[in-house]
Structure 1
Amino acid sequence: MSYVMMDQGLPSSCYKEEASNYELSVRIIQAQNIHGTDIVTKPDCYVCLWLPTSLQEKKKTKTLWNCKNPVWNETFNFRIHSQIKNILELSLHDADTGTEDDHLYTVCYDLGNVTLDNPVLETFPFNKESGEELQVEFTMLPISEPKKTVTTNGVLVCPEMAALEVQIEKAKVEKCKDKTELVLTVKGSYEDSHRTMFIPNITTGSSSKETFEFHYSRDSAAELTASLNKVYPVVDVTFSNEDDHLNLTTVPLNVISPDTETNVQLPAMENKPLEMQLKLNECPEKLDVRLGFNLCDQEKAFLVKRQKVVAAALKKVLQLQNDLVGEEIPVVAVMATGGGARAMSSLYSHLCGLQKMGLLDCVTYMAGASGSTWTMSKLYGDPDWSQKEMSESINDAKKYITKKKTSTFSVERLKYYRQELHQTSKEGQKPSFTDLWGLMLESMFDNGRNESKLSDQKAALENGQNPLPIYLAINVKHGNISTLDFKEWCEFTPYEVGLTKYGASIRTEDFGSEFYMGRLMKRHPEPRICYLQGLWGNVFSLNLVDTWYLTTQLDTFWEHWMKHRIKDIDNEDIRRRREEAHTKTHLFTPSSTFSSILTGLLTNRPIDGEQQNFLRGFHLHKDYHQHSQFRTWKDTHLDIFPNKLTPLADNLCLVDAGYFINASFPPLLKPERKVDIILSFDYTLDTPLQALEQTCTYCEAQGICFPKVSLSEEERKKQKECYVFVDDDNPTAPIVLHFPLVNDTFRKYKEPGVLRAQEEMSEGNIDVTSFFSPYLLTNFTYSESDFDRLMKFTQYNLQNSSNLILDAMRTAVEKRKNRNLLNKMYQNKTQTKS
């Protein structure tokens, strides 16, 4: 592998690699002992080939009718990119007349198993018992052309982009008799297609030139297809019949030389050819998507400023003799779970408690999921919120929590929602229930229309005066794939929106805009904060599988459901040839019709939304699965199928992170953030330790540093107000102080160390466990007394554990100092040797 110097315009954590293109030939030879689905007749077999890294469209063999041992001996050619993970999908089908064809099997084969100039003959066993199999031959040949460079971060690859300019001169075409539409198509390009109309009996002038542009990967086997279609008027509706082509022309784009004009003639009306001029233009090399797993420059600059605030606060609360400097300053983070209005209210209270204890300025990060993000997004509308008395914010929240919500569903508000969603549609977004839910939240918990946006919150970080907020969501599949089978962490900050697993981020201002191959192609207005609140805290887009997992913590039934569908079919010969980076050959057996229907019912999210996919146009690096950062955050079987991962998806489907784990730990566990202490505020009612235990299990499986959560039966029965978890064997794991909603000593004490009088005992009787609790997830309106008691209760629990928090901070400072001392000794030793 050869590397070249990185351009200065590229982020520091991505680099350039040299790449070659190869010619791949795939010969579908034969299949044997295919039984099909018909009981009476033999199967009518054909094979489909799909290689999305080369062509968007599938290729297909001819159908061999009534034959259980079909022999095709057909060859298909593909253009292969050397630095991209190329997975060829071969699917066997049984053709049916009058009904949908039956999908029998699909084989996913890593083309990294094929070496240059060395034909490989593979036999893929579908069913060893019945002897069903498919025989295919692969041949890879080099293409004699100069090597090119690609931009990569080791997980994602961005090949060179090409911009095809197509110019048409309508004036040179004689008047047509029929209304005719010209359709220009480049499959897999950003634009996909352009259309223009030729109108009969209309004289065109000299200014009738039209220019169209297509953006696509220069290394792909893209083709320009130009077709003229007759257009028929029906009543007042005009449509074109795609099958009624007057003429059709296809031009392979890899034969067009850059900076030279190519003329193409399309036979047109009255035997007068339509002339098209094709030209390749240069595309800007600088990407608008940041590729890299490191922190962005803005966050790094914020940390320098915040360190000064944290150092001063720690010196005061810990009564230190000397100032903390540099690496001696520990990173403290707040982690807040979801829980609807309960989480929203309780986070206000906990932040107020930290402020009263002088600890709020010790916090560097604050991560939230679901309902807690409603509090965060409201607070950060004020650039100096943490420097003011939190009691003002609590009084403001109380006003909205206790007011009736009937006006949210009034006719006037419904009209307003409709107008707003119509406007978002005009701005290029795709309105959904998630957007409607965000508007409802704005009506319930805000004072009128809130024009602020997430990027506006940068003002609250300008001088390091507040902790950095991180809002968490997960990207899931919109179709019949459960959250257990596919989820990807997506974090939002005022600086960036990023998908952790891929090391790809965009500016927060650009969220919702259209990207292709890392370039910003079409800018849309940044969504107002209410739409993001609806996305982060959409308590209604839960599917049945999510519900099962969250209520039972058992996902074995779903694993069993999936196991019979996907299996490794590599034989010993393939295993010997396959390098570590090559993906195993997998056989996918489609479910029965009944199973497919049931799966759809279990996984369907009828009221979620879709967002623009800023990874569109990227590909997975040939060694992506071996990248340490990718491996850390991959956690589903779909991660081994690059054709099913997000770069190939049309849209993102972002939902409430609580549908997997109702916590916001992941952003705080990125090693680049170096978090030492996590104050974990858990706002669930009936399962106060579940999210913590799920996080521990998740981190253990992923190799992420997190303390072990091990509780005895006695500890589970007698729940505490605060749990402290420390991993003495792993000094890089953060100290976690977990605060569940547990009403223990508050029943007897109104303040730490101050017993209640007999007449005050009722104030301590707060129901946070039963089905009749006033703080249930579906309740968005509290009485004033219920709100006030929740504030007192949560602040008491925090203050009653102040000694545990201070002890953890002292431990973190000591660890930091020792680590800093060891680093200095090591540096001095190294310099002495030099």
Structure 2
Amino acid sequence: MSEEVTTSYQKVQAFPTWLLSVKILQAKNIRKADRRNGADCYIMLWLPTASKEKARTQTILNSTTPIWNKTFYFIIQSQVKNVLELRIYDEHLHSNDDLLFTLLFDVAEVCPGERILANFILNPERKEELDVEFAVQEHLGHLESLITNNVLVSRPVSCLNVCVVKGKSMKRLKEENDLELRVKGSFEDTWKMALESGLVESFHFHYTTYWEPELNAHLQHCSSNEEQDKKNSSASLTMPLKLLSTGKEVNVVLPVSVTSPEVRTCWRYSHVSAHLLSGRAGRRPVGGGHQSPGSPENLDMRLGFNLCEEEKSFLHKRKQVVADALKSILQLKEDLLDHEVPVVAVMATGSGCRSMVSLYGQLSGLQKLNILDCITYISSTSGSAWTVSNLYEDSNWSQKDLARPIHEAKKHVTKNKISTFSLEHLIHYQTELSHRAEQGISTSFSDLWAVALENVLHDKVNDFKLSDQQQAVNEGQNPLPLYLALNVKENHISAFDFKEWCEFSPYEIGFLKYGAFIHSEDFGSEFFMGRLMKKNPESRICFLEALWSNTLAVNLLDVWNKLSSTDEDWHKLIQGKMRNIERGYVPPQNSTYLETSWMCPDGMLSKIIREVLTDRPLHHHAHNFLKGFHLHKDYYQDSQFSMWKDCQLDQFPNRLTPSEDDISLVDAAYFINTSCPPLLRKERKVDVILSFDYSLDAPFQSIEQMEKYCMEQGIPFPRISVSEEDKQNPRECYLFIDDENKKAPIVLHFPLVLDSFQNFKETGVKRSKTEMDEGAVPLAGCHSPYRLMNFTYTKKDFDKLLKLAEYNVQNNRDWILQAFCMAIEQKKCGRQQSQCPST
């Protein structure tokens, strides 16, 4: 066994493979779905950690006690979670087969060198049973060098290079004849090429080395009927890749019969030759091509639950900025030691333009209190993410007066948006999405929302990207921005039943649950087993802003559905996905909502929009950068995974994200309207959270939901206890502390409320009678200008909301400083306790 290497919780170690035999013996008392007589029964076997191919038994006709005695073999790796799926079907000739039973068997129950007979009780009442024999023995092969963080496992990947040389008489073949090459289970899966004489073409297949797949090649006539094309194949070849030696070239010949179109008879033979070269796949491709041989221990992504080196460097630099700011604002006599400097974070929820404008006001208030330099992180989602992404286009924004970015935001929020879906803009949107499709990026309604949102927020194409924000944090000059989205199962499983937190930072994008992160500029590129297969261009920031806020596009979908009379199923689908974020909302008859003035489904506009909507679901589709990974045999017990596992699917590794080709990302508000999870990673050690909530009717709902979630997951978080009186008449600020668990952050919660601002224009300065109108901010009611889907404010409404948010922060300066002092004291006490000898 090789020496173990550990870097950033990522381990590299060699383990042997094993040979699993599964002998399907017999079933008992199996009847058809209608229970009238015996089923035409067969069994499908699928072990996705050993092969993408599904094996099956023969069909036993009309028998209640089918006997197969058929043995299947799989090469398995004992360090991954091998779960065998057995599906029992009743076969039908003229309709879909009936699935009678599904069995999941954890191969870890069979010890190496052991043979066990398993009797599965399928239906106790009808005494339906299945007998299967399992055995595991040593597989005489090479050791597998595995890379793992104890949740995900990356296995060795081989690269097959196929160089195809066509015979000289290929010109006799019609152009519509294609040669298809396929390695099932490989990253590429299938390549097709036209047979034109004299050309030499090369193709690559990347596959898990010990799966031992086959190369299948056949000539097929191209038509709309793919099944018929396979039957018309005039030549085929099957080559087991285990016959190839690493680094040794093998030549194979595919004979081709050429048919005369006049007499329809075979009159000449030619051939297609292929040179096969197998080798170990290496690291990142150059210039967007395929990988070249290299060190298998080097992945193009990071496996580990700790922070990346870039963020660690940021924290080191930011800590000094925070220490100096705290010393000044708290009037400390001595400098804070490194371990005494608290990590303070701003957490902003989403609520469209309301959250965007409010966050500008709150950040302005923090800046005027000289507190902004005390902040280490800013997390955001939905509309608050628009504020953050706009600010970070300036690499020194927190050191400057925020009047300029606020003025720019005001210009776009108050402008007339009637032209957002004009013919000119629609043509531009279509061009943008077509360009993304040409780059290999799947487009959906979320992308239409993105380019429309870019027009709303910028009035122009904004080439800024997430990775560009690194310039704003490289010296620790600003807080580190964090964004949040949810990965969900598309359409058939709700966000309440399956969701995975996906965080975005200027440095990395990754899943908290799996401890897997890629460089931010690689999001949208294609990965396999942790290797970068195809480098795609990084998307502009608008496409990420759209996925962080795509709940806001639901009403746009609904309006389009109503106006264009598209099918009812879509309407039900979208309605089922969207939670009622603002209770009691009743749209006014004379609505000024943005979407009602955007959409005009007649004539050319309708045609263009229909062409743009290539994919109806609202999810943001992206290539799955976890594709190919396996789950570690003990993944479910890993403490880091356990912090974020929260659904039944977590117990079924074959159904988790690594098995998917794509990921579907949605706004965090589909589950909880919060951006808190990235701040609760224990590696970030956040001590104080300034929680900015922008809900109008339930100012404690999100934080209460977060507390419940954290309690269920075992994540330190203070208890949220609010009286009914406070829920009916909330104050400007609430302090929540967990005295029993010092690992829980101190939370200062700021609801968006109209309290003392009605009578005070500044802290301690009352309004005159002529100024009372400026303190009347219409937050409540269905006619409020700040309702969720209103994207257009008057200048007066903009200023009122901005000043309210700014005032509510400034008026609670003492609460904020008190929280800072408590955090510093806790850190000092923690240091003193850690230095005390154990008793």
Range class of TM-score, shorter chain = 0.7 to 0.9
What is aligned with 2:275? 277
Stretch moving more, 332-341 or 103-112: 103-112
Change beyond 3 A, Cα 1:443–1:642? same
Cα 1:239–1:26, aligned 2, differ >3 Å: closer, same or farther? closer
Does the aligned pair in 1 maintain the 2:44–2:57 contact within 8 Å? yes
SS, match of residue 812 in structure 1: helix
Shift of 1:211: 2.5
The answer on 1:26 being equivalent to 2:22 is yes
Q: CA deviation at 1:473?
A: 0.6
Q: Which residue of 2 aligns with 1:125?
A: 121
Map of 2:89 onto structure 1: 93
Q: Which secondary structure does the structure 1 equivalent of 2:104 belong to?
A: strand
Residue 532 of structure 1 is matched in structure 2 by 544
* Alignment gaps of 5+ in structure 1: 553-603
**Aligned to 1:193, which of 169, 176, 190?**
190
CA distance in 1 between counterparts of 2:681 and 2:23 reads 46
Letter in 2 for 1:276: A
Once the two structures are superposed, the pairs formed by residues 68-467 of structure 1 within 5 Å of their partners are 68-171=64-167, 180-199=177-196, 202=197, 204=198, 208-231=199-222, 241-269=229-257, 270=268, 274-284=272-282, 285=296, 286-467=298-479
Deviates more, 1:314-323 or 1:388-397: 388-397
Alignment of 1:5 onto 2:9: no
How big is each residue's C-alpha offset from its partner over 1:746-778, in whole Å with a ceiling of 9 and x where there is no partner? 223222223333443333332323222211111
Deviations 1:436-488 (A, max 9, x none): 11111111111421111111111111211100000111111124111111111
The answer (yes or no) to whether the contact 1:429–1:512 under 8 Å persists in 2 is yes
Of 357-366 and 99-108, deviating more is 99-108
Supply the AA of the counterpart residue of 1:64: I
| Matched letter for residue 722 of structure 1 | C
Question: How many angstroms does 1:278 deviate by?
Answer: 2.0
Distance 2:37 2:356 in 1: 63
Q: Aligned match of 1:634 in 645, 650, 661?
A: 645
Question: How far off its partner does 1:50 sit?
Answer: 1.0
Residues 762 and 90 (structure 1), Cα distance of their counterparts in 2 relative to 1, 3 Å cut: same
The 8 Å contact of residues 20 and 134 in structure 2, kept in 1 or not, is answered as yes
Shift in Å at residue 39 of structure 1? 5.7
**Residue by residue, what CA displacement relative to the aligned partner does 1:79-108 show, whole Å, maximum 9, x if unpaired?**
112221111111122222322222222111
What root-mean-square deviation, in Å, do the aligned CA atoms of Structure 1 and Structure 2 show?
A: 2.3
Distance 1:672 1:225, change over 3 A: same
Mapped partners of 1:124, 1:469: distance in 2: 52
Rounded to whole Å, the distance in 2 between the matches of 1:787 and 1:698 is: 34
- Note the alpha carbon deviations across 1:717-774, whole angstroms, 9 max, x for none: 3322111110010111100001111222222322222333344333333232322221
2:699–2:727 CA contact under 8 A, matched in 1: no
For the residues of structure 2 that align with 1:361 and 1:436, how far apart are their CA atoms? 37
Q: Which amino acid aligns with 2:160?
A: L
Residues 292-345 of structure 1 show CA distances to partners (whole Å, capped at 9, x for unaligned) of 111111111111111111111101111100111311110000000000010111
Verify the 8 A CA contact 1:22 1:82 in the aligned structure 2: yes
Q: Which amino acid aligns with 1:661?
A: I
| 1:535–1:656 Cα contact (<8 Å) kept | yes
Q: Which digits, 9 at most, give the CA deviation of each residue in 1:638-692, with x for residues without a partner?
A: 0111111111100011111111110011000001111000000001111111110
The amino acid across from 1:462 in the alignment is N
The number of residue pairs the alignment matches comes to 765
Contact in 2 for aligned 1:185/1:192 (Cα 8 Å): yes
CA drift at 1:3: 5.9
Distance apart, 1:547 and its partner CA = 3.7
Native 8 Å contact 1:541 1:655 kept in 2: no
Structure 2 partner of 1:779? 790
1:490-501 aligned at under 5 Å gives the runs: 490-501=502-513
Map Cα deviations across residues 623-646 of structure 1 (whole Å, 9 max, x no partner).
111111111111110011111111
Identical columns (%): 47
Alignment of 1:704 onto 2:704: no
* 1:546/1:660 contact within 8 Å kept: no
2:677 to 666, 685, 703: 666
Matches within 5 A, 1:573-722: 606-722=617-733
Aligned position for 1:767: 778
**Corresponding residue for 1:810?**
821
Cα gap change, 1:116/1:176 in structure 2, threshold over 3 Å: closer, same or farther?
farther
Contact 1:63 1:95 in 2 (8 A): yes
Distance across 2 between alignment mates of 1:59 and 1:411: 53
Report SS of the residue matched to 1:375.
helix
CA–CA distance in 2 between the matches of 1:315 and 1:18? 51
Residue pair 2:181, 2:215 contacting (<8 A) in 1 also:
yes
Q: Does 1:506 align with 2:518?
A: yes
* Paired letter, 1:147: L
Question: Closer, same or farther in 2 for the Cα pair 1:49/1:464, shift >3 Å?
Answer: same
Aligned mates of 2:580, 2:92 — CA distance in 1: 39
Q: Do the aligned residues in 2 keep the contact of 1:722 with 1:737 (CA within 8 Å)?
A: yes
1:757 is matched with: 768
- The answer on 1:730 being equivalent to 2:741 is yes
Distance 1:175 1:466, change over 3 A: closer
Task: Please tell me the residue identity of whatever aligns with 2:3.
Answer: V
The whole-number CA distance in structure 1 between the counterparts of 2:831 and 2:429 is 55
CA distance in 2, matches of 1:175, 1:72: 49
**In structure 2, what is the Cα distance between the partners aligned to 1:541 and 1:147?**
51
Write the letter of the residue equivalent to 1:326.
Answer: D
* Separation (CA, whole Å) in 2 of partners of 1:712 and 1:615: 44
Q: Report the Cα offset of residue 149 of structure 1.
A: 1.3
1:740 to 735, 739, 751: 751
Offset from partner CA, 1:506-526 (integer Å, 9 cap, x none): 111111111112111111110
Where 1:92 maps in the other structure, the secondary structure is strand
Aligned residue for 2:598?
Answer: none
Please report how far the alpha carbon of residue 47 of structure 1 lies from its aligned counterpart in structure 2 after TM superposition: 1.3
Equivalent of 1:477 in 467, 484, 489? 489
Q: How big is the shift at 1:178?
A: 5.8
The structural deviation recorded for 1:175 is: 6.5
Report the CA distance between 1:616 and its aligned residue.
1.0
| TM-score after normalising by structure 1 | 0.88
Q: Secondary structure at the match of 2:715?
A: coil
In structure 1, how many angstroms separate the alpha carbons of the residues matched to 2:26 and 2:174? 48
Q: Say if 2:582 and 2:788, in contact at 8 Å, map to a contact too.
A: no
By how many angstroms is 1:177 displaced?
A: 5.5
